[in-house]
Amino acid sequence: MTSKLFDLTGRVAVVSGAAQGLGRAMALALADAGADLLVVDRNGDGVRQTADDVVRLGRRAIAETADVSDSVQIRALFARLDREYGQIDFLGNVAGDGTVGAPEEISLADVELSWRNLVFGRFCSCQEAGRRMLARGRGSIVNIGSIASVTALGRGHIAYSMAMGAVVQMTRELSTEWSGRGVRVNSILPAQIINPGLDARIAAEPELRNQFLKGIPTGRLGHPDDIKGLAVFLASDSSSWITGALIPLDGGNLAMNSGGTNPTCTATKGK
Ligand SMILES: NC(=O)c1ccc[n+]([C@@H]2O[C@H](COP(=O)([O-])OP(=O)(O)OC[C@H]3O[C@@H](n4cnc5c(N)ncnc54)[C@H](O)[C@@H]3O)[C@@H](O)[C@H]2O)c1
């Protein structure tokens, strides 16, 4: 049974990117704590699977197939939310990938695509959710950022980093504008968390794994389930005085100076 501190019974949550990875883990954790869900992803089969799993946890779930880089599709899903639930208590803005390319070579179309996926999509969803939450005087929003929101990654991440930097400014501005009217806005900043894309990159370039681990003092990559407790906490009233926060989910990455040494990593022993 969920502790009363984190009980989400009677709450309605919208989570994007819910077919897999962090979005799916977030949706299942919120359902486990008592929330009903509207889950969104461009992967229809995947998001329906997540909705089925939410129902298995005893909660109500609606699966919506949509591309969150498109405001028309975002508005349509919020219209469906109004029809089906008439309420939103939590928004998890998780979906959206970036494009990779060297700053001197990346096409402006790819830069725009990253911006559309990560900034425009999150903002449009915040606007739709925020209007409804402000009308009721309560709500919580989490915008997933990245360690790239506050520090540079290199390796061709210019478009992604610029977009993720904008995501945390969005969070700060919206928190400042809305928290006095009951709507909290926070960001979670993950470091490398295993997903199929990361698995493929590590398979193609095995040394990457060690490179990532050198920056993670806990000595392991993240797992999507690592977001579960934080998501429930931020959706619950236990976090009612936490807003505008940028919360690392990074095994200690941001705390460690990038020039520092991870004492648990054999590759850096004695260096
Ligand atoms: N995994 C990491 O290492 C990491 C680190 C920092 C930040 N993040 C960010 O966290 C978020 C989730 O990452 P993840 O690891 O769960 O990724 P993932 O690739 O495992 O899952 C992303 C999900 O979002 C969906 N999606 C992507 N773009 C979409 C769009 N435009 N419209 C609808 N659905 C879309 C995909 O279909 C997929 O189901 C992303 O924004 C990512 O940039 C991830």
Nearest to 7 by CA among 25, 22, 29: 29
Classify residue 84: in a domain, yes or no: yes
CA of 94 from ligand 1 middle (Å) equals 6
Nearest to 69 by CA among 130, 118, 20: 118
Please answer whether residues 253 and 215 qualify as being in contact, where contact means their C-beta atoms are separated by less than 8 angstroms: yes
Classify residue 80: in a domain, yes or no: yes
Q: What is the largest CA-CA distance in the chain?
A: 62
Backbone angles phi and psi of 259, in degrees to 5: -90, 0
pLDDT of residue 270: 56
CA of 95 from ligand 1 middle (Å) equals 5
Instruction: For 68-80, write each residue's pLDDT tens digit.
Output: 999 999 999 999 9
Please answer whether residues 160 and 118 qualify as being in contact, where contact means their C-beta atoms are separated by less than 8 angstroms: yes
Classify residue 59: in a domain, yes or no: yes
Residue 160 annotated among the catalytic residues of the structure: yes
Domain hosting 98: range is 4-192+222-252
Classify residue 265: in a domain, yes or no: no
CA of 21 from ligand 1 middle (Å) equals 7
Number of domains in the chain: 1
Q: Would you give the DSSP letter of residue 15? A: E
Say which of 78, 90, 123, 160 is annotated catalytic: 160
Classify residue 262: in a domain, yes or no: no
Classify residue 62: in a domain, yes or no: yes
Instruction: Burial-class residue 156 by CB neighbours within 10 Å (0-12, 13-18, 19+).
Output: middle
To test the pocket of ligand 1, the residue of 15, 16, 20, 22 to mutate (highest count of ligand atoms within 8 Å of its CB) is 22
SS3 assignment, position 33: coil
The structure tokens listed for 64 are 């919506």
Classify residue 267: in a domain, yes or no: no
Q: What does each of the 271 residues of the chain score in pLDDT, given as a tens digit?
A: 578 999 999 999 999 999 999 999 999 999 999 999 999 999 999 999 999 999 999 999 999 999 999 999 999 999 999 999 999 999 999 998 889 999 999 999 999 999 999 999 999 999 999 999 999 999 999 999 999 999 999 999 999 999 999 999 999 999 999 999 999 999 999 999 999 999 999 999 999 999 999 999 999 999 999 999 999 999 999 999 999 999 999 999 999 987 777 788 777 665 5
Residue 193's DSSP bridge partners are: 222
Strand locations in 153-245, DSSP E? 183-190
pTM of the model: 0.96
The CATH number for 91's domain is 3.40.50.720
Backbone angles phi and psi of 140, in degrees to 5: -140, 135
What residue has token string 């089969």? 45
The contacts found for 100-103 with CB under 8 angstroms, 24 or more apart, are: 100/155, 100/156, 100/157, 100/159, 100/160, 101/156, 101/158, 101/159, 102/156, 102/158, 103/158
Ligand 1: nearest atom to the Cα of 66: 33
Classify residue 209: in a domain, yes or no: no
| Amino acid (one-letter) located at 247 | I
pLDDT of residue 258: 76
Strand locations in the chain, DSSP E? 12-16, 36-41, 61-65, 90-93, 139-144, 183-190, 246-249
Distance CA(123)–CA(118), nearest Å, equals 9
List the residue whose alpha carbon is closest to atom 36 of ligand 1: 17
Distance CA(166)–CA(10), nearest Å, equals 32
